[in-house]
Structure 1
Amino acid sequence: MQVERAPTRSEPIHVSLVAIPEAVISTLSGIFDVMNGPAMLPASGEEPRMRPFKVEIVGLQAGLLELASGVPVTAHRSVAEVGATDIIIVPSILLEAKGWQKGRHPELVGWCGAMHRRGALLCSACSGIFLLAETGLFDGLDATVHYGYATAFASAYPNVHIHPQRVLVVSGKREELISSGASMTWHDLVLYLIARHAGATVAQDVARFFALQWHQDGLAPYIVFEGRKDHGDLAIEAAQNWIATHFSVVNPVEEMIRRSGLTERTFKRRFPGATGLSPIAYVQRLRIEDGKRRLERTEASVDEISWQVGYEEPAFFRRLFKRVTGLSPGAYRRRFKIPDYARQNS
């Protein structure tokens, strides 16, 4: 993904940050502050602070709006008052237990589509893609969403190619459809927009000022593996339930087959059809997931953890771990281990 050179323009770039009742306050307020970050940077010498963006919170109506957490924000203007904008950002939204209800905000969806036709970038942070996907503009294109909502999103919008393991996805002929993944990857979205419109140096200065980091390793290290069990195949589900606590045994696939009462050929055909993974790949994911918890919570060596999860060859465990998570076991431990100061009172 290439970040464009910052354009030269005299007027600030107008950013419309969408507030809806389902929005999460932390994402909305964080985006608001960091998009204004260039104006907060300490001025050097006599040079005035850079103000490349004019950020407004917009909603169906102007004024106070209570968000998902019960905290109110003030929408500066209603979308009906915004006839043109350069960038629209929909922050994270909190999905109810019954999922996203399509058609809840038709006026906002229509406004986003109209602004896109006039040249605006459409950006989503995390689950904000649920609202933007209603425009139909992402159909047939790549996007990302919080991995916890990936199944729900795929069911609601099957025509969008979703990649929950990716941090940031830029799509569209004009690279005008931008989505960021789980939770705090809104940092990457905002830094990308600053780099694209104000320059990479300004983005780096903002990252330093707020102590933000790009999630350059992707989101695979954060994703917790949970095998699918909504397939309705009782024999395979029984095998999954057994292997969940016996993945470290010798010859785990053979043991699953024996216990299932199915022939080897039938088991190896039905298991991928039900879970989406081959039996050995499923076992590997369970072993790696257990290895991740041990790296986070214990002082055991990588060799010892390899043996505990079922691998006699630590070198194989290391290779597999990096292939699945994108990080070596040592790098994973450094990133996710509970720090000593947080352990003192535990």
Structure 2
Amino acid sequence: MDKSAMSDPQQPATVAILAYPEATASVVYGMYDLFMATGRDWGIVTSGEAGPSLLRPLVVAARAGPLLATNEVRIEAQASLQECSSADFVCVPDLNIPPGESLEGRFAEEVEWLRRCYAAGATLASACSGTLLLAEAGLLDGQEATVHWAYCDELRRRYPKVMVRAQRALVVSGEGQRLVMAGGGTSWLDLALFLIARSVGVDAAMQVARINLIDWHAIGQQPFARLARTRQVEDAIIAGCQTWIAEHYCEHSPVAAMVRLSGLAERSFKRRFQLATGMSPLDYVHRVRLEEAKQMLESGDDPIEAIANAVGYEDAGFFSRLFRRSVNLTPAQYRRRFGSMRRALNAGV
């Protein structure tokens, strides 16, 4: 690929979409379709005549040709990493691996290619868990970042120099604002619109959004988050306390009760709990209670005060403030947004 194309105003900007077996084909080809549609499809729907495509998407992989991606869907890489020596934008799709699985040496070619692209001036954009590859390349050290909520703790643990912003669905950082990350599973749509707006213009991005009925994820990803931690089998005492609190989260003074259950001194218990779960016992209790509150808000019509009492809070005002700080929505807003979604989904089954 001729690097001079990057500076030629008559040439559409090149968007390289990285593919690998751990990617999801819907994300790879979904981005490809939106980029191809930019400038072209608005004319089709408004005047019946296609306009010029204003972006040039290209699916690239370690080797050109077919590869079998997640769910055994075949992706056709149009060029190898070696053949794609430059691009204006590089998109890194989701990485469909368990949060705790090691990446060491697994994506060596892709990581080195990402470093080269960034050094050459490309904007790098990741969707969902793809942020892990940017971190593995060392590009996020000292930078703000976001990732799918299920991988936030793993991103912090593996790459302590990264400033993780878990509540934000989209983060832009790095030199020249050339690192763009979308956190949630479908926030690759936000990512694509952002790149279209940056490369072609806001009007073009709005046209793509209108044609495809894309709704911006302005509320962030925290409302979708679930308690993504399993029992800590390495510490049987703490695992027993986690099992206990899952059934007794509404009791008064649950931390004191877990201390008694553990048989440890309070200071030792809190230290071991923090080490095993990554959070203090009280924060863990709040997390469990709020997850149960989300379920109640989604599935029923009980008053907010009743839900607060049911999950262990006597002060409904405190519950509402804690909920908003954690979820970025008030309990009433959460119910309106996700209660209607749950009812609509239930009606369809």
Classify the TM-score, shorter chain: 0.7 to 0.9
- Summarize the alignment of residues 297-336 of structure 1 with structure 2, pairs less than 5 Å apart: 297-336=299-338
Q: Give the Å deviation of 1:165.
A: 3.1
**Residue 184 (structure 1) aligns with:** 186
Counterpart of 1:182 in 2: which secondary structure?
Answer: coil
**Residue 66 (structure 1) aligns with:** 68
**1:179-221 deviation per Cα after TM superposition (whole angstroms, max 9, x unaligned):** 2212111111111111112222222222121111221111111
- Tell me if structure 2 keeps the 8 A contact 1:99–1:152: no
Q: Give the Å deviation of 1:17.
A: 0.8
Letter in 2 for 1:214: W
**Residue 77 (structure 2) aligns with:** 75
Q: 1:23 to 1:242 in 2, by over 3 A?
A: same
**Residue 220 (structure 1) aligns with:** 222
- Tell me if structure 2 keeps the 8 A contact 1:228–1:274: no
2:34 maps to 1:34: yes
**Residue 342 (structure 1) aligns with:** 345
**1:74-99 deviation per Cα after TM superposition (whole angstroms, max 9, x unaligned):** 22222222232111111112116872
**Residue 171 (structure 2) aligns with:** 169
Q: Give the Å deviation of 1:315.
A: 2.4
Q: TM-score, normalised by structure 1?
A: 0.86
Letter in 1 for 2:345: A
- Summarize the alignment of residues 1-346 of structure 1 with structure 2, pairs less than 5 Å apart: 9-38=9-38, 39-42=40-43, 44=46, 49=51, 51-95=53-97, 99-226=101-228, 229-230=231-232, 232-264=234-266, 266-268=268-270, 270-337=272-339, 338-344=341-347
Counterpart of 1:249 in 2: which secondary structure?
Answer: coil
Distance 2:173 2:230 in 1: 29
Q: Give the Å deviation of 1:258.
A: 3.7
- Tell me if structure 1 keeps the 8 A contact 2:150–2:228: no
Q: 1:276 to 1:109 in 2, by over 3 A?
A: closer
**1:258-310 deviation per Cα after TM superposition (whole angstroms, max 9, x unaligned):** 43444555545554454443433332222111100111122322222122112
Q: TM-score, normalised by structure 2?
A: 0.86
Runs of 5+ unmatched residues, structure 1: 1-6
- Tell me if structure 1 keeps the 8 A contact 2:231–2:243: no
Counterpart of 1:323 in 2: which secondary structure?
Answer: helix
Q: Give the Å deviation of 1:60.
A: 2.4
Distance 1:53 1:288 in 2: 43
Q: 1:84 to 1:294 in 2, by over 3 A?
A: same
- Tell me if structure 1 keeps the 8 A contact 2:144–2:163: yes
- Tell me if structure 1 keeps the 8 A contact 2:99–2:151: no
- Tell me if structure 1 keeps the 8 A contact 2:232–2:238: no
- Tell me if structure 2 keeps the 8 A contact 1:100–1:130: no
Distance 2:160 2:174 in 1: 18
Letter in 1 for 2:43: P
Distance 2:98 2:348 in 1: 35
Distance 1:301 1:49 in 2: 53
Give aligned pairs, total.
340
Letter in 2 for 1:210: N
Distance 2:80 2:277 in 1: 46
Distance 1:132 1:307 in 2: 43
Q: 1:227 to 1:95 in 2, by over 3 A?
A: closer
- Tell me if structure 2 keeps the 8 A contact 1:167–1:182: yes
Distance 1:98 1:288 in 2: 25
- Tell me if structure 1 keeps the 8 A contact 2:299–2:342: no
- Tell me if structure 1 keeps the 8 A contact 2:15–2:90: yes
**1:99-157 deviation per Cα after TM superposition (whole angstroms, max 9, x unaligned):** 24332343333332222222111121112223333332222322222222334444444
Q: 1:177 to 1:244 in 2, by over 3 A?
A: same
Letter in 1 for 2:181: S
**Residue 4 (structure 1) aligns with:** none
Distance 2:324 2:94 in 1: 30
Q: Give the Å deviation of 1:64.
A: 2.0
Bigger drift between 244-253 and 318-327 goes to 244-253
Distance 2:259 2:68 in 1: 54
Q: Give the Å deviation of 1:52.
A: 2.1
Distance 1:114 1:256 in 2: 51
Q: 1:96 to 1:266 in 2, by over 3 A?
A: closer
